[in-house]
Amino acid sequence: MDYNKLTKDIVDGVGGKDNIESVAHCMTRLRFSLKDVSKVKKDSLDNISEVLGQVYAGGQYMVI
């Protein structure tokens, strides 16, 4: 697995590095605080085989 490509693809999917205010993780999710949620490319994230889903709740955009 190419983790550098996976990271780039996820960051691009959430609207790019300039759209990220902060990021944290837990066992199953990357939790993003985003400046503008409308910039998320849901289809792009869905096309990443390692991404099992995505959820927006509590002001966080979570990539599973």
Enzyme catalytic residues: 26
Strand partners, 22: 33
**Residue 34 near residue 61 (C-beta atoms within 8 A):** yes
* Count of CB atoms situated within 10 Å of the CB of 31: 17
Helices (H) and strands (E) in the chain, counts: 2, 4
